[in-house]
Amino acid sequence: MPADLWTQFDAAPLALTLRVALVATALALGLGVALGWVFARTRLPGRGLLEAVCMLPLVLPPTVLGYGLLVLMGRRSALGAWLREHFDYTVIFHWHGAVLASTLVALPLVLKAASSAFAQVDPQLEAAARTLRQSRWSTFLRVTLPLAWPGILAGTLLAFARAMGEFGASLMVAGSIPGQTQTASMAIYDAVQAGHDELALMLALVVSAVSVAILMLSNRYLQRSPS
Amino acid sequence: MKRLLLSLSLALPLLAGAQQLTVSAAASLTDAFKEIGPKFEAAKPGSSVRFNFAASGALLQQIAQGAPADVFASADQDTMNRGVAQQLVAADTRRDFAANTLVLITPAQGAPAIATLADLNQPAVRRIAVGKVASVPVGRYTQQALEGAQLWTALQPKIVFADNVRQVLDYVSRGEVDAAFVYRTDAELAKGKVGIAMTVGGHAPVTYPAAVVADSKQAALARDFVAFLGGAEAQAILARYGFGRPQP
């Protein structure tokens, strides 16, 4: 490895990638578990449509997601203009924009894992807890969630890996600003375009290694879950 | 019968591709080249031209990785020099065919008043879009101009780097940035959405060279295309989009 690579090498994109992926995964976990439970345990009208909409980022081209976020959150949009006027805040060219995009692509993975994990939990166990005078909330926390947890965790790890790899939508919304919004995937893209092949290769290896570790961990939890 | 049709339909594109020319051209040339393409096809019956538009640096990188391009048209001399040095293009086929001007633009509505480069320092200017310095020529011209004005370092926190000049333009058209550096020809295309605040000097002249790619399998046709760019027909189209003639 050439010595000057170390002077080129910048850990900021990797650190930002971890930060974005962690925040996005936490958000996706909260949302995914709540929605997963709703989809598995309730007869909400329009459930099928809502579920399909939530799953959409899994199959949409990242450009559609990015464009949608630009239209919804941009300076010229109603929401974007309101946020800017009242809070002097915008997700465009901000790392929060990358978090938003990553959360949306990570959500389907948590949601799908959570709703099938909840569906596997025997309703009779929940009913038994209810006869023991546990509240619905307490039943959820003490019975349903612990039984569903391995499946949810496996989905969450997948979501984290997916959030780490987000590129297209994040690039469109957050831009590639070195030190501010440039994640590892964007740094790789820039390095390839600029012909810095060694830097690109090195970043690609780091990202791949981390992803392999996460996928192996996720598989272990999947094998342990009842599904 | 079905099989015959299938093999025919698979073979047709190959036959049609016998005289196909792939032109990798700087993003700023997009609209002019899309008009020049059909004129060239008309002048050379049996030929068909397809274009690949992106930042010049990214295009050269693709060619270095073996992309099957026949002609390379860059928005600066630097990138073409690299192509010559790496023997990716045939040096003796290189011709300058157009010139351009660097301008500072702002969104048409609600933009802070900017009359000089130093005005970019004011707090009202929060984000400035610039082409990526490593791969986008307009970014390098911008860097030269801002370094000359001793502003490059000070403005860094405000700069958003874009993939090519058209993305820079798009950021301004959408009002997501307060100012940006593009070519005059790009700014003219987005009239009504962006305004030209000033013409920017202090950088290498913006001239566009074209050359035949060294590995081209259509070298003769590629030479014809490069020559065609210097001809009256192509020059008229380029002039209509606001490109200048290169200094001889």
- What domains does chain A contain, in order, with CATH numbers? 9-224 (1.10.3720.10)
User: Which residues of chain B neighbour A93 with C-beta distances below 8 Å?
Assistant: 127, 160, 176-177
pLDDT tens series, chain B, 248 aa: 556 555 555 555 444 445 899 999 999 999 999 999 999 999 999 999 999 999 999 999 999 988 999 999 999 999 999 999 999 999 999 999 999 999 999 999 888 889 999 999 999 999 999 999 999 999 999 999 999 999 999 999 999 999 999 999 999 999 999 999 999 999 999 999 999 999 999 999 999 999 999 999 999 999 999 999 999 999 999 999 999 998 77
Interface check for A76 against chain B (CB to CB < 8 A): the answer is: yes
Dist CA B55 CA B165 (whole Å):
7
Nearest residue on chain B to A177, alpha-carbon basis:
B160
Report chain B residues touching chain A, CB-CB < 8 A.
55, 57-58, 60-61, 64, 127, 132, 134-135, 159-163, 174-177
- In a mutational test of the A interface, the residue from B159, B170, B174, B177 whose CB has the highest number of chain A CBs within 10 Å is B174
d(CA B216, CA B180): 36
Nearest-angstrom CA–CA distance, B131 and B183 = 11
CA angle B162, B163, B169 (to 5 degrees): 55
Decide: residue A145, CB within 10 A, 0-12 exposed, 13-18 middle, 19+ buried: middle
**Nearest residue of A to residue B54 by CA position?**
A193
A86 part of contact set with chain B, CB < 8 Å: no
**Would you call B161 and A75 a contact, using CB atoms and an 8 Å cutoff?**
no
Closest residue by Cα to residue B193 from B106, B127, B120: B106
Domain spanning B100-200: CATH superfamily: Periplasmic binding protein-like II (3.40.190.10)
Element (H, E) at A1: none
In SS3 terms, B197-244 reads as EEEECCCCCEEEEEEEECCCCCHHHHHHHHHHHHCHHHHHHHHHCCCE
Check CB contact under 8 Å for B134 and A93.
no
A165 touches chain B (CB under 8 A): no
| CA–CA separation, B150 and B137 (whole Å) | 20
Chain A residues whose beta carbon lies within 8 Å of the beta carbon of residue B60? 195
Which tokens hold the place of B132? 């990526």
Give the whole-angstrom CA distance, residue B71 versus residue B103: 28
Helix and strand totals (H; E) in chain A: 12, 0
Per-residue pLDDT of B139-181, as tens digits, reads: 999 999 999 999 999 999 999 999 999 999 999 999 999 999 9
* Two tokens, residue A111: 């949601």
- Residue B222 and residue B216: Cα distance in Å, rounded? 8
Closest CA to A170 of A147, A193, A155, A189: A189
ipTM summary value: 0.74
Distance separating alpha carbons of residues B148 and A31, to the nearest angstrom: 51
pTM of the model: 0.82
Contact A193 B58 (CB under 8 A): yes
Distance CA(A189)–CA(A167), nearest Å, equals 9
Judged by a CB distance cut-off of 8 A, whether residue A81 touches chain B is no
What 3-state DSSP class applies to A16? Answer: helix
Size of interface A-B (CB pairs under 8 A): 49
Q: Spell out which residues of chain A touch residue B58, defining contact as CB-CB under 8 Å.
A: 193
Contacts of B127 in chain A (CB under 8 A): 93
| β-pair partners for B194 | B107, B191
What pLDDT shows up at residue B240?
A: 96
Nearest to A91 by CA among A66, A108, A110, A109: A66
**CA pair distance B72, B222, nearest whole angstrom:** 9
Q: What is the 3-state secondary structure (H, E, C) of B75-123?
A: CCHHHHHHHHHCCCECHHHCEEEEEECEEEEEECCCCCCCCCHHHHHCC
CA distance A69 to chain B (A): 13
Residue range B2-99+207-240 in CATH 3.50.50.60? no
The pLDDT assigned to A227 comes to: 47
Residue A155's pLDDT is 93
In the sheet that holds B95-100, the strands lie side by side as B48-54, B20-26, B71-73, B206-212, B95-100
* CA A61 – CA A101 distance, rounded (Å): 12
Neighboring chain A residues of B57 at a CB cutoff of 8 Å: 193-195
- Residue A202's pLDDT is 92
CA distance A56 to chain B (A): 26
CB of A17 within 8 Å of any CB in chain B?
no
Put simply, the answer to whether B174 touches A93 (Cβ < 8 Å) is no
Low-confidence ranges of chain A (pLDDT < 70): 1-9, 224-227
Round to whole Å and give the CA distance between A172 and A68: 10
Query: Inter-axis angle of helices B137-148 and B77-85, to 10 degrees?
Result: 120
Q: B3: distance to nearest CA of chain A, Å?
A: 33
For CATH 3.40.190.10, list the domain ranges present in chain B: 2-99+207-240, 100-200
